[in-house]
Amino acid sequence: MADGIEIIEGGSVTSPQGYKAGGVYAGLKSAGEGVLDLGILLSERPAAVTGTFSRNKILSPSVTVSKRRMTDGGGSRGVVANSGCANCSVGEQGLLDAEEMTRLAAAHVGVSSDDLCVASTGMIGVELPMGIIRDAIEKVELTEDGGEAFARSIMTTDSRPKHIAARFSASGQTYTIGGVAKGVGMIHPDMATMLSFITCDANVDQDFLTDSLRWAVSESFNMIDIDGDQSTNDTVLLYANGSSDEPQIDSGEAALGIEFRKALKAVCVYLAKELVRDGEGAGHVMEVTVDGAVSMADAVCAAREISSSNLVKAMVHGRDPNWGRIM
């Protein structure tokens, strides 16, 4: 973790001030000990929000609805998410169901449906079972300790929840940033079959927030590869609700902006590496470092050629240090 950043033991998306979350088992996945499949993350006050999404040609309607929320402006109060069903390739019904999920969650927590994003992950080509979602969503209990339950509610074939929180300080002010992610397959080339939600209690300028997330994602989630396949539901959302009541962060030139971006990248990199460690069928983790490249673009190109090579992966899996395969 970067210098000046303090990791919060057991931290999650609810570690920053002003966030609550929770999850329940609705029945979208097979029952089991600790299995949850429907969750809500809520900011107690309106938050600035920005997101990055899958660039696959086929998108889940859940992605479409959340992208609309980004363009509508006016901030956000959180997200409702499910696992077990991707809500993708199901026609117009998928859009209707995604919108209904936001209405159901909004009614439960007492906000407008326009204030909530929606995210889905799981089986493609199957409609959301709205009947059981309607029954279960009002059972989601939101608490300040609900980050772990929310993390479990978005897991699919993940073997464990993935979450983190950290504190960063500058100019006498201290802020907290938390994050959660899921995804262990279809990881390449941009993000993964993944959902990630990041929360911060800083007051961050909207344009700077958007620019910072794009940069952090490009340095983390967009740098990982497991199986060379892209997904329809990739979503990363970043919320900043200002609950710390500290001065606004609006520039990457000042100390506050520099530390914010450093902490944001550190959280994203940690979560990205956790995705790789828990990858479907993965037995090893390989990290590629490029030294001496003329530009960042050249370094990324070289690293991706190596990290996405099936021949190199076979070499690592077989523990055969045949460096000629890299050439």
- Residue 284 included in any domain: no
3-state SS class at 326: coil
Q: What is the CATH number of the domain that holds 74?
A: 3.60.70.12
Q: Are residues 105 and 201 in the same domain?
A: yes
Q: Are residues 237 and 308 in the same domain?
A: no
- Residue 319 included in any domain: yes
Q: Are residues 311 and 218 in the same domain?
A: no
Confidence at residue 187, expressed as pLDDT on a 0 to 100 scale:
44
- Residue 263 included in any domain: yes
CA nearest to 104, candidates 24, 16, 14: 24
Domain limits for position 313: 296-325
- Residue 290 included in any domain: no
- Residue 193 included in any domain: yes
Report how far apart, in Å, the C-alpha atoms of 94 and of each of 58, 87, 128, 132, 298 are.
13, 6, 7, 16, 40
- Residue 291 included in any domain: no
Q: Are residues 154 and 300 in the same domain?
A: no
Cα–Cα distance measured from residue 19 to residue 21, given in angstroms and rounded to the nearest whole number: 7
pLDDT by position in tens, the chain (length 327)? 667 899 999 999 999 999 999 999 999 999 999 999 999 999 999 999 999 998 888 899 999 999 998 876 678 999 999 999 999 999 999 999 999 999 999 999 999 999 999 999 999 999 999 999 999 999 999 999 999 999 999 998 888 999 999 999 988 899 999 999 997 664 444 444 589 999 999 999 999 999 999 999 999 988 876 544 567 888 999 999 999 998 899 988 889 999 999 999 999 999 999 988 887 666 777 788 899 999 988 988 887 888 778 788 788 777 877 777 666
- Residue 61 included in any domain: yes
Q: Are residues 176 and 317 in the same domain?
A: no
302: DSSP letter? H
CA nearest to 66, candidates 105, 21, 107, 119: 119
DSSP string, 224-256: --SSS---S--EEEEEE--TT--PPB--SSSHH
Confidence at residue 184, expressed as pLDDT on a 0 to 100 scale:
64
Rg (CA), the chain: 19
Q: Are residues 176 and 308 in the same domain?
A: no
Number of domains in the chain: 2
Active site members: 193
Cα–Cα distance measured from residue 77 to residue 105, given in angstroms and rounded to the nearest whole number: 11
Cα–Cα distance measured from residue 320 to residue 314, given in angstroms and rounded to the nearest whole number: 8
The pTM of this model reads 0.89
- Residue 98 included in any domain: yes
Q: Are residues 64 and 144 in the same domain?
A: yes
CB hemisphere CA count around 174 (13 angstroms): 7
Q: Are residues 301 and 230 in the same domain?
A: no
Q: Are residues 301 and 269 in the same domain?
A: no
